[in-house]
């Protein structure tokens, strides 16, 4: 009986071990199936990555797109590209221009001052008189939008409450410090702004206002309108820059050098004076003459200066640049491109291809503010290729 139980126990253990072994094998198989697709994917990704072309540099892409660029040529030696200007010689000059001009606008300020025992009375009288003045100015042909109230106030008037005569000393005696309100005053002023060459002049405005009841004229201001200021400013700046350039050329010539570029420009503010006139109060037929105003503009310019135009004994790159500039300047007008100054033509990059061959990139800024880009190739001092805005210049 004992032997039977032992045998049964052994069989149960063997069966349990078999079940565990079968489960383990199933788990290993399932894991292998899951890993296989991932491994295959990784291998595919690896193969895909290895077949991608290598990343090219920006220069390679540029050269593939446009092999005419100077740095794409074989054995090209870069002479200059973006140039460091820190070691270049500079010359700073100032220029000025002055002109006389007549103001085209004026402002007249007239006022009314009234008194009353109460603030309401003073203000009421002032309002009536001001309305009369405004109506008279409108009859003169002045529109409402050409007039504006520039000031208005109502204030008390103080007086001594004692009949005693007080001397002017400081501090005043106690009995002289007792003051009380004895009345009120109201004051208002109107500013009229018109064209200086219009049908109504400043004198007519003053006389009409006084006849209508105005008892205060603050003054007359003649000035330049914003539009005329801009016209005068533009003309002065151009003349001042021309003056500075003339002085720079003279200085560079005395040094045996020449102006080769602009480093910086400083434009100083143009100050427009205001002509002020105070007419004699309550005088009929007032004559107000604006006269001329003198306006001055100044500029300060720092130029780059260099030696004279390269000859055969000097650096070949300088000779190439000089030859290129001469060629370009001779062709611009025929291409319908106008420039204000030769400095509007600038060389951006020079590359020496061989002992006697140079390639240049250049830019031109025309009088309308449009930029033009070009490429030139020079062999033995002669232009063999010239392209501007994608078109041949030859």
Question: Residue 370: its pLDDT value, please?
Answer: 83
Question: Residue 367: its pLDDT value, please?
Answer: 86
Q: How far apart are CA 118 and CA 154, in angstroms?
A: 10
Strands 77-80 and 147-160: unpaired
110-122 mean pLDDT: 94
Q: Where in the chain is the domain with CATH 3.30.110.170?
A: 92-102+227-306
134-145 mean pLDDT: 94
pTM: 0.48
Q: pLDDT tens digit string along 178-201?
A: 678 889 999 999 999 999 888 898
Instruction: State which of 41-55, 154-168, 211-225, 288-302 shows the largest mean pLDDT.
Output: 211-225
CATH superfamily of 92-102+227-306: Protein of unknown function (DUF541), domain 1 (3.30.110.170)
DSSP of 44-85: HHHHHHHHSPPPPPHHHHHHHH-TTSGGGSTT-EEEESS--G
Query: 3-state class of 159 per DSSP?
Result: strand
The mean predicted confidence, pLDDT, of the chain is 76
What backbone torsions phi and psi does residue 222 show, to the nearest 5 degrees?
-105, 135
Higher-confidence residue: 230 or 348?
Answer: 230
Q: How far apart are CA 325 and CA 302, in angstroms?
A: 22
End-to-end CA distance of the chain: 121
Q: pLDDT tens digit string along 346-375?
A: 776 777 777 788 888 888 888 887 888 889
Question: Residue 51: its pLDDT value, please?
Answer: 41
Q: Where in the chain is the domain with CATH 3.30.70.2970?
A: 105-223
Choose the CATH number for 105-223 among 3.40.50.200, 3.40.50.2000, 3.40.50.720, 3.30.70.2970: 3.30.70.2970
Question: Residue 164: its pLDDT value, please?
Answer: 64
What backbone torsions phi and psi does residue 170 show, to the nearest 5 degrees?
-130, 135
Instruction: State which of 36-40, 253-257, 271-275, 315-319 shows the largest mean pLDDT.
Output: 253-257
**DSSP character at residue 225:** -
């Amino acid at each position: 009986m004992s032997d039977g139980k032992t045998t049964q126990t052994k069989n149960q253990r063997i069966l349990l071990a078999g079940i565990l072994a079968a489960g383990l094998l199933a788990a290993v198989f399932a894991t292998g199936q899951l890993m296989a697709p991932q491994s295959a994917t990784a291998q595919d990704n690896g193969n895909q990555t290895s077949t991608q072309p290598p990343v090219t540099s920006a220069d390679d892409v540029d050269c593939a797109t446009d092999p005419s660029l100077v740095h794409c040529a074989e054995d090209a030696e870069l002479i200059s590209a973006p140039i460091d200007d820190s070691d270049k010689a500079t010359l700073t000059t100032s220029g000025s221009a002055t002109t006389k001009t007549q103001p085209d606008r004026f402002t007249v300020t007239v006022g009314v001052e009234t008194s009353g025992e109460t603030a309401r009375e003073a203000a009421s009288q002032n309002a009536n008189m001001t309305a009369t003045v405004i109506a008279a100015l409108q009859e003169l042909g002045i529109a409402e939008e050409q007039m504006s109230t520039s000031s208005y106030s109502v204030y008390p008037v103080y007086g001594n409450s004692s009949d005693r005569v007080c001397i002017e000393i400081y501090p005043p005696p106690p009995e002289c410090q007792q003051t009380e309100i004895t009345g009120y005053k109201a004051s208002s002023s109107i500013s009229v702004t018109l064209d200086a060459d219009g049908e109504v002049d400043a004198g007519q405005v003053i006389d009409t206002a006084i006849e209508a009841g105005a008892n205060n004229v603050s003054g007359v201001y003649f000035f330049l309108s914003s539009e005329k200021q801009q016209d005068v400013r533009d003309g002065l700046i151009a003349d001042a820059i021309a003056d500075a350039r003339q002085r720079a050329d003279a200085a560079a010539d005395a040094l045996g050098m020449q102006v080769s570029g602009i480093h910086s420009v400083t434009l100083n503010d143009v100050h427009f004076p205001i002509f002020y006139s105070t007419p004699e109060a309550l005088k009929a037929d007032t004559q107000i003459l604006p006269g001329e105003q003198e306006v001055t503009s100044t500029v300060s310019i720092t130029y780059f200066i260099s030696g004279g135009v390269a000859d055969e004994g000097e650096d070949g790159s300088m000779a190439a640049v000089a030859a290129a500039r001469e060629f370009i300047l001779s062709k611009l007008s025929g291409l319908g491109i106008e420039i204000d100054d030769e400095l509007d033509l600038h060389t951006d990059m020079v590359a020496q291809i061989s002992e006697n061959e140079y390639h240049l990139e250049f830019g031109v800024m025309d009088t309308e503010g449009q930029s033009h880009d070009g490429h030139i190739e020079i062999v033995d001092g002669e232009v063999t290729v010239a392209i501007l805005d994608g078109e041949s210049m030859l």
